[in-house]
Amino acid sequence: MPNHEAKPTPEQTPIRKAMDFAAVRDWPGYYAAVAGKPPRETTVLALDRFDAEGRRAGKAIDLGCGEGRDTLELLRRGWSVVAIDGEASAFEHLNKRVPPAVAGRVTTVVSAMEDASWGEVDFVNSSFTLPFCDPARFDGLWARIVASIRTGGRFAGQFFGDRDTWARCADRSHHTRAQVERMLGGFEHEQFKEEEKDDVDAFGKMKHWHVFHIVAKKR
């Protein structure tokens, strides 16, 4: 008789991907899975646009900064950054990676994004975080984000679409293309990339990705 109760040996345990940790909001696991990854393309594109305009590095919010891949790039390019995340352990990773010479330009805040507030800024960066907002509080958060960005400033980040597998989770904020277009009504689109692809998690279960990758300049 096969023993169905037997625990898998370490060799049989599947290696979990970042998405497996994100699926269950295991953020410490997520940080370990993405350690050392470069900044997000949307962040880099937005920063390149500021540079192309010859603008001085200003003040940025990195909302849902995680272990800091984007915050570090903002600091490297001379920005002052308020890095916000609901998971305190994010900052154990981030603080270790911030070079002492630029540490004076970063402020770290442990806060739920739903409760976070800040003053006027030039750039709100929020990579792969807004979908984890409480849906009942998403509109309020987005209104605060838009209101905080100065004219000529930018938003960069991701929205998850209505055809994404996780759109069925009641605690996630997903949007149709029309909704994303409406939310960005006051912005010039510098990148509006809609991506759909299939992937499998570490356990062989299919995950459909439907993601909007956005870089937008406030009019």
Ligand X SMILES: C[S@@+](CC[C@H](N)C(=O)[O-])C[C@H]1O[C@@H](n2cnc3c(N)ncnc32)[C@H](O)[C@@H]1O
- Binding residues for ligand X, rule: CB under 6 A, are 22, 27, 30, 34, 40, 64-66, 69, 85-87, 90, 112-114, 127-129, 132-133
Least distance in Å: CB of 39 to ligand X?
8
Which SS3 state, helix, strand or coil, does residue 15 take?
A: coil
Least distance in Å: CB of 115 to ligand X?
8
Least distance in Å: CB of 54 to ligand X?
27
Query: What does the block give as tokens for 182?
Result: 């409406």
Nearest to 49 by CA among 141, 127, 154: 154
- Residue nearer to ligand X on the CB measure, 22 or 216: 22
Q: What is the rounded distance in angstroms from the CA atom of residue 154 to the CA atom of residue 48? A: 12
Which SS3 state, helix, strand or coil, does residue 21 take?
A: helix
203, with CB counted inside 10 A (0-12, 13-18, 19+), is exposed
- Residue nearer to ligand X on the CB measure, 54 or 63: 63
Least distance in Å: CB of 22 to ligand X?
5
- Residue nearer to ligand X on the CB measure, 37 or 150: 37
Angle made by CA atoms 10, 26, 90, in degrees to the nearest 5: 115
Which residue of the chain is nearest ligand X when measured via CB? Answer: 66
- Residue nearer to ligand X on the CB measure, 50 or 160: 160
Nearest-10 crossing angle of helices 69-76, 89-97: 30
- Evaluate whether 144 touches 174 at the Cβ level (below 8 Å): no
The dihedral region occupied by 86, where left means phi > 0, alpha psi between -120 and 50, and beta the remainder, is alpha
- Residue nearer to ligand X on the CB measure, 34 or 146: 34
- Residue nearer to ligand X on the CB measure, 34 or 169: 34
Query: What does the block give as tokens for 36?
Result: 């050392």
Least distance in Å: CB of 57 to ligand X?
19
